[in-house]
């Protein structure tokens, strides 16, 4: 268990630093209010997690440790959107359209609502 935590944690550290660097590099000098750094990190993370799971499906190209390191660690630190996209692709493949809509719509709406509630709570307390 400790070994797996270290594998995922190391990947997470790398992914988080990568995300920070992508955001700095992409948004440096941009006047746009659109969050291009986050958008590009989310799309790149989705591509990377697709490659990781595509390789994993090919048999013994990636060990379980490498999958954890790359998918959960690196991609998880880089963007949780990649896991979100992969889970939704699986729901689509399984023809679980109701669950797909709930996950996409619910995550989007409830996520925005949760951010708003968090801000309101902090403003009310402090």
pTM (2 d.p.): 0.76
Residues 9-25 have a mean pLDDT of 94
Buried-state track 74-111, b at ≥16 Cβ within 10 A, e below 16? bbbbbbebbbbbbebeebeeeeeeebbeeeeeeeeeee
Residue 126 pLDDT exceeds 80: no
Among 79, 72, 6, smallest CA distance to 46 is for: 79
Q: Which of 107, 116, 64 has its CA nearest to residue 88?
A: 107
Burial class (CB in 10 A: 0-12, 13-18, 19+), 34: exposed
**Separation of CA 83 from chain center:** 5
pLDDT tens column, 73-117: 999 999 878 889 989 999 999 999 999 999 999 999 998 998 889
């Amino acid at each position: 268990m400790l070994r797996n935590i270290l594998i995922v944690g190391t990947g997470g550290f790398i992914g988080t630093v990568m995300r920070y660097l992508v955001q700095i590099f992409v948004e440096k000098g941009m006047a746009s209010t659109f969050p291009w750094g986050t958008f590009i990190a989310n799309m790149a993370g989705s591509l990377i997690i697709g490659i990781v799971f595509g390789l994993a499906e090919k048999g013994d190209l990636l060990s379980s440790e490498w999958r954890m390191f790359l998918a959960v660690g690196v991609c998880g630190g880089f963007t949780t959107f990649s896991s979100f996209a992969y889970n939704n692709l699986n729901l689509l493949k399984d023809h679980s359209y109701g669950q797909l809509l709930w996950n996409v719509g619910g995550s989007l709406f409830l996520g925005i609502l949760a951010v708003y509630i968090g801000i309101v709570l902090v403003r009310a307390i402090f």
